[in-house]
Chains A and B, each alone.
Chain A
Amino acid sequence: MGDNNARLDVKGMALAEGTRWLVQDLSFSVNPGSVHMLLGERDTGKTAILEALAGRRKLERGTLLAPAPAALVAQPAGSAQIRVLDRLILHRQPKRMGLFIHWKQAREEARALAARFALDGLLDVPVETLRPLERRLLELAASLAEQPALLLLDEPTSELGPHEARHFLTTIRRVASEEKIPAVITSAFPRDAYPDAEAVTILWRGMEPVTVTTHECSEGTLVERWTGGLGIRRTPSGHHTPGEPLLRMEDLVLRGRGRETSLAGLEFEVKAGEVLAIVGAPADGLNLLHDVLLGSRSPERGSMQFLGKEMIASTRRHRVESGISFVNPPHARDQAIPEFSIEENLILGQTAGPPFARKGFLRHDSVRGNAVRTLRDFEIPEAEPHHRFRQLKLGDRQRVIVAREVLRNPVLMIARSPAQGLSLAAQEYVRRALVLQCERGSGLLWLTEEPEEAMRVADRLAVLAAGRFVWIPVTETLTREMIIDEMSGAAA
């Protein structure tokens, strides 16, 4: 057992990466049984702070009194094909004669641990078939197997829907309380602080961190302080007048993978000049619907008509050539080639003919000219066309992707959480660029797990819950809580 009942104290902490300061003058303390949240956008040093608290990173300045050992729970990665049981005993197996795994005892210990998180019925299930929330709970349970005295979780809600995030954060609070250990989480969502965190440290790039308690600061005030007054509910260019139907999905049925929720007869249409937002948790059918739209999965039943033509069995290439454009989350691996130059990424999928190719050869002057204009028009001044794509910041990468797709002037755009994980300014830019495309007559289908994002962009809004749609009128009285209640089924 670790050093339980010990308090975490950070005073004047400074961390650096090479010659760049990641964070300076950071001070906060966390009592045993409490949860503390570090709130910040990308590249504000959240992960580095957790690494320092876990003793994996050297402090440049300041003092740190941290109970040991610390469990640092990062994003779930790898080992997805092993069973839940194996994951739980991965770092600590009961042995027979010091050589062989004592499977009976291991199963009992794993079952007891899993029962604390309602995972005991899933011991023999492969990890890859778990829902995102279950995977998070599993990682949390596995970290407890090492009996930590300090719990550190890096962006634990990044892949969860809001109601799943709420459940998970409540669990963290319960674990911290039961184990009498301090817990620190990082997040890019102010809502994650409520109601389970005691205090929040707000991190800004290059500015001194500020710590506030959740008792003295409401969620609205916290958002205001963090964003500097950037409003949450604001439609970038107002509502649009819908035109002709572009995409019509009918009776879409698809069985979920593992413990994913299946799609149970979805029907919707997207019209020219409108933004249809669909909100849902990834495992509640949002991922499945996205896969169907991409053409990477075939539904068991249903049709997808684009401009009156049936496309349910068509490839992604055919869909793109027909006028559909896809923008995926910034971290998605399928929309850019990091080792290619920016100018090459800007012509991906457009090399079948003019203007970027002729008689089987690339036209380098056209490619370069396109890149120069795009970087100027989409306000990425620091980048040069020949720079490698991976050298760009995440926000600029997504700008390049959005630019590529928008400049094709598609009939329909399908965006899946296109601003996820970006800085606030980049989020705003990406949303605005996509929504403005509607004013040129394109339809926009926006899939997201964020109610706030949907409220900001939607002309029409549907919640995907338990594989079905719940349509919600977009009115001035619509609140985030109403959407979350529909997502979690609490509205019924």
Chain B
Amino acid sequence: MIPGRSRGGPWVLLGNAALLVALFTGSYLIAAAAGSSQGWPPWSGDIVLAAAGLLFLGLAFLFPLHAGLLNFGIHAQFLAGFIAGSLVARSADILPGAQGLLGLIAGAGGGLFVGVVMAWLKRKLAIHEILSGLLLAAMLIPVARAFGVEPAAAPALEIQLGTLARTLAWAPGLHLAPSFVMAWGILLLAAGIGLGLLAAHLLRASVRGFELRAVGSNPLAAVAAGVDVDSMQMLTIAAGGACAGLVGALQLWTDPAVALERWPVPLGFAGITVAFLGGGYLRGALIAALVLAVWLNTPGVAAALSSPVWGGAMAFLLVLPAFWNLPRLIPDQGAPRAIWRTRHRESA
């Protein structure tokens, strides 16, 4: 749970559960109405990789949120990871398997870099992370197109509702062997689960976790207690950026890309939905990522998303948790502003 925020009570849990039920039943009913039972081409690694991707995206939003930052730059970090991974994939003299793993590392580095840039902009110029994050995403979309393995449109990269109706296409990827993708995908999912559980434990038990919770709850009190708030925020948004960047690079592992391309809104923002559906808890995000990965691979989803109306409805459902989760999880902006004013305007 994000420190300093309301737990929300049973209504929030009920709302999140109702939304998941609506997603599953809606997809089923749409598929039944269309007389279609077939979904996307079956692929054994889809659920594993989709769950891993969604989980890391959820962590990308949750880590900074614990330090009081709203990481709306998650899509920019995702794109930076995709770009970095693509650059590795262009190196023909490396084996595809090595490319895949190196791409993940490069992607994490790319996302981390964007996170650091956002933190720097906030620290030096007081540019809010929502603004810098969205602007960086807008700037990186054409770059992602230019650097992608296949410059043809990658719909999940775009911020256009029109892409909902379009047949989804993707870069050709690295042509990795299914066994490789499956094995490493399971390892990646396990790593994500381990990272989430470890982070939850450290938040509760370690001194740094205690300080991080203090920063997220009340930065003024954290400063008074001797915590370096700026460094702590930079650390978490960089860690979040690395997670989102890793998922960006992960898109190159399959063709089409990891099934996450079916996500009906810009893909990076999936992390926000995962975080909200998890109620702001790290452990909740693990469950939400797994459930959504299963949903993405149910047959009705393809039918639903191929229709502009139903695709739009699904997109709305995925954004809906923000209405009841964001107000209770949103950081108190008063205290950070007071800190900034102290530092920038009132010191001699």
Contact residues of A with B, CB < 8 Å? 254, 257, 291, 296-300, 315-317, 320-321, 326, 333-340, 344, 348-349, 351-352, 357, 360-362, 364
Q: Contacts A316-B226, A320-B226, A361-B206 known; A340 to B3 CB distance under 8 Å?
A: yes
Instruction: Tell me how far the C-beta of B104 lies from the nearest C-beta in chain A, rounded to whole angstroms.
Output: 28
Q: Contacts A300-B348, A360-B208 known; A316 to B224 CB distance under 8 Å?
A: yes
Q: Give the residue of B3, B205, B211, B223 whose beta carbon is less than 8 angstroms from that of A334.
A: B223
Interface residues of B in 301-348 (CB under 8 A from A): 335, 338, 342, 346-348
Q: Contacts A348-B225, A357-B207, A362-B207 known; A337 to B346 CB distance under 8 Å?
A: no
Determine whether the beta carbon of B218 is less than 8 Å from that of A326.
no
Q: Is B120 part of the contact surface with A, judged by Cβ < 8 Å?
A: no
Listed from nearest, the 9 A-B pairs whose CB atoms lie closest are A317-B226, A349-B225, A339-B4, A334-B220, A348-B225, A298-B348, A334-B224, A337-B218, A337-B217
- Complex: A155 Cα to B338 Cα, angstroms: 24
Instruction: Tell me how far the C-beta of B241 lies from the nearest C-beta in chain A, rounded to whole angstroms.
Output: 24
Central interface residue in B223, B224, B346, by most chain A CB within 10 Å:
B224
- Complex: A254 Cα to B206 Cα, angstroms: 40
- Complex: A339 Cα to B214 Cα, angstroms: 9
* Across-interface contacts of B220 in A (CB, < 8 A): 333-334
Dominant SS at the B interface? helix
Q: Which residue of B lies closest to A351 (CB)?
A: B207
Instruction: Tell me how far the C-beta of B126 lies from the nearest C-beta in chain A, rounded to whole angstroms.
Output: 14
Report 17 cross-chain contacts, Cβ distance below 8 Å, ordered by A residue. A297-B348, A300-B348, A317-B225, A326-B224, A333-B218, A333-B220, A334-B223, A338-B218, A340-B213, A340-B217, A348-B224, A349-B224, A349-B225, A351-B207, A352-B207, A360-B206, A360-B207
Instruction: Tell me how far the C-beta of B337 lies from the nearest C-beta in chain A, rounded to whole angstroms.
Output: 11
- Complex: A453 Cα to B218 Cα, angstroms: 30
* Across-interface contacts of B347 in A (CB, < 8 A): 297-298
A297-B348, A317-B225, A334-B221 known, 17 other contacts, Cβ within 8 Å: A257-B346, A298-B347, A333-B220, A333-B335, A334-B224, A336-B218, A339-B4, A339-B5, A339-B218, A340-B4, A340-B214, A349-B225, A349-B226, A360-B208, A362-B207, A362-B210, A364-B205
* Across-interface contacts of A298 in B (CB, < 8 A): 347-348
* Across-interface contacts of A326 in B (CB, < 8 A): 224
Determine whether the beta carbon of A348 is less than 8 Å from that of B214.
yes
Determine whether the beta carbon of A361 is less than 8 Å from that of B213.
no
- Complex: A338 Cα to B342 Cα, angstroms: 22
Interface residues of B in 197-249 (CB under 8 A from A): 205-208, 210-211, 213-214, 217-218, 220-226
Count of B interface residues, CB-CB < 8 Å: 26
Instruction: Tell me how far the C-beta of A341 lies from the nearest C-beta in chain B, rounded to whole angstroms.
Output: 11
Instruction: Tell me how far the C-beta of B319 lies from the nearest C-beta in chain A, rounded to whole angstroms.
Output: 27
Determine whether the beta carbon of B221 is less than 8 Å from that of A337.
yes
Central interface residue in B3, B4, B221, B348, by most chain A CB within 10 Å:
B221
CB-CB contacts of B1-27 with A at 8 A, as 1s and 0s?
Answer: 001110000000000000000000000
- Complex: A254 Cα to B222 Cα, angstroms: 26
Determine whether the beta carbon of A362 is less than 8 Å from that of B205.
yes
Q: Which residue of B lies closest to A300 (CB)?
A: B348
Q: Give the residue of B5, B211, B348 whose beta carbon is less than 8 angstroms from that of A351.
A: B211
Q: Which residue of B lies closest to A390 (CB)?
A: B4
Q: Contacts A296-B342, A316-B226 known; A361 to B221 CB distance under 8 Å?
A: no
* Across-interface contacts of A339 in B (CB, < 8 A): 3-5, 217-218
* Across-interface contacts of A257 in B (CB, < 8 A): 346
Central interface residue in A317, A337, A338, A364, by most chain B CB within 10 Å:
A337
- Complex: A442 Cα to B348 Cα, angstroms: 31
- Complex: A333 Cα to B221 Cα, angstroms: 7
- Complex: A338 Cα to B4 Cα, angstroms: 7
Q: Contacts A340-B214, A361-B206 known; A348 to B221 CB distance under 8 Å?
A: yes
- Complex: A338 Cα to B335 Cα, angstroms: 13
